[in-house]
Amino acid sequence: MRFNSIILLVLFTGIRSMAQSDTTQRKMSFHFQQTAVYQYHGAFDALYSGDNSMINKEEGALSLTSTLFFDAPLWKGANFTFNPELSGGKGLSQAKGLGGFTNGETFRIGNPEPVVYVARLLLEQNFELSHHRNLKLVIGKYGLSDYFDFNAYSHDPRAHFMNWSLMNQGSWDYAANTRGYTSGLYIEYKTPQAEVRGSFSAVPTSANGPDLDYNYDKANGINLELTKPFQVNASWSGFFRILAYRNQAAMGNYDLANRAQGIPDITSTRSPYRTKYGYGLNAELSYSDVLGLFARYGWSDGKNETWAFTEIDESISVGVHFWGKSWNRKQDFAGIAWVTNGLSSSHQKYQQLGGNGFMIGDGNLTYGQESILEAFYSFQVPASPFTLSPDFQWVINPGYNIDRGPLTVWGLRVHTEF
């Protein structure tokens, strides 16, 4: 709460100074987005099910998000951002049963009723330096995925692939509350040759918790990323990114939980100052405005429990993005991708003994890597602001379990923004 109070004080002071200090004649801006996603799967084979299994009977689910984006210029180089957001509906099986869940617009929240909350509340300061260099500082509430692990073809579930392990590196347990937001500090330094960014932010008070822990000396998340642009020839260009993270919180430990008699419970082994760390590689390659290629690899140590994102300890993905210019539909685009997710050996054993995380738990486990094929087509409705995106996902070994699946999920996304 003390940190939030400091943020509000800084923002209020900046807004008061806006009329007197802004020398760039910039204007306030308002933007809006709304995204609805319906997904369905039929019955599929399962030798057994647990508390956190994907339901193996026919099932459908609808989710909805609406976001208002308000940006106000302050003094030179400064900007205030406020994003109230509404979300409602639910994911298939309450967003449980998969490491790479199928809908990036859903959260692990039991109540499907629409709720309004503050997604972002931040102050941004930009410094234009010599030789085309730029320094950016951000303080406030934001999503780490706003700044890190960007990929032009696999990042935004409102426009690109919808699977969680395709919108980000699945093994990146990025600091965030249940809805995907955190509070903290962010710094970015850009040159024509490279970009470096880092953050220090709050983690949730408990695994998948809605509340953030502002005891930064005991619990925090640190992220660092290096981005390097490259040019193959006149037609092919791209970016390569290296991301590293470290979280500290009162996490449970898989090995300690596995030693207990009976069914292990990771929550009973929680202790302060435990850490979780990992890294990721992220590449994209563009051919003019016709074709895009991308690939990611992510790894985390997998010793202590997943704390914020999803139960994936290792992930690799590849995909292709097609622009509609090739078939005379300039506003349309499509994508197809393959991702394979895995668990650490300690995490595997925990699941085999019947333990539950906050995403998966079949009561038993015959381990196999979870692999997902996703394909979508984004169609711009003529003479309207709406985009329709039919989506297909095929999941092998859902929840890393050879004894379940495969699972086929059909979806339709409706999106508008202005």
Q: pLDDT grade, residue 109 (50/70/90)?
A: low
Q: pLDDT grade, residue 25 (50/70/90)?
A: low
pLDDT value of residue 5: 46
Q: pLDDT grade, residue 110 (50/70/90)?
A: low
* Residue 234, token pair as written in the block: 């006149």
pLDDT value of residue 372: 99
pLDDT value of residue 339: 99
- Section 110-114 average pLDDT: 76
Share of the chain above pLDDT 70, in %: 93
Q: Give per-residue burial for 172-197: e unless 16+ CB within 10 Å, then b.
A: bbbbbbebbbbbbebebebeeeebeb
In tens, the pLDDT along 248-303 reads: 999 999 999 999 999 999 999 999 999 999 999 999 999 988 999 999 999 999 99
Residue 376: partners with Cβ closer than 8 Å, 6 or more residues away: 160, 161, 162, 334, 335, 389, 390, 391, 392, 413
| CA 324/CA 379 separation, integer angstroms | 9
How does DSSP assign 117-160, residue by residue?
Answer: EEEEEEEEEEEEETTTEEEEEEEEEE-GGGTSS--TTSS-TTTS
pLDDT value of residue 26: 74
In tens, the pLDDT along 87-98 reads: 999 999 999 999
Residues β-bridged to residue 182: 142
Q: pLDDT grade, residue 23 (50/70/90)?
A: very low
- Show me where the domains of the chain are located: 2-24+44-417
Q: pLDDT grade, residue 205 (50/70/90)?
A: very high
| CA 138/CA 140 separation, integer angstroms | 7
Residues 26, 76 contacting (CB under 8 angstroms): no
**Burial zone of 100 (CB within 10 Å; 0-12 exposed, 13-18 middle, 19+ buried):** buried
Q: Which amino acid would we find at residue 156?
A: D
* Residue 206, token pair as written in the block: 């408990």
Residue 355: partners with Cβ closer than 8 Å, 6 or more residues away: 257, 258, 263, 264, 265, 266, 361
In tens, the pLDDT along 132-150 reads: 999 999 999 999 999 999 9
CATH code reported for the domain at 2-24+44-417:
2.40.160.180
Residues 308, 174 contacting (CB under 8 angstroms): yes
**Burial zone of 88 (CB within 10 Å; 0-12 exposed, 13-18 middle, 19+ buried):** middle
pLDDT value of residue 6: 43
Q: In 3D, which of 401, 319, 396 has the Cα closest to residue 359?
A: 401
Across 127-131, 349-353, 395-399, least confident range:
127-131
Q: pLDDT grade, residue 154 (50/70/90)?
A: very high
The answer on pLDDT for 245 being more than 90 is: yes
pLDDT averaged over every residue in the chain: 93
pLDDT value of residue 10: 43
How does DSSP assign 224-273, residue by residue?
Answer: EEEEEEEESSSSEEEEEEEEEEEEEES--BHHHHHHSSSS--GGGG--TT
pLDDT value of residue 63: 96
Q: pLDDT grade, residue 1 (50/70/90)?
A: very low
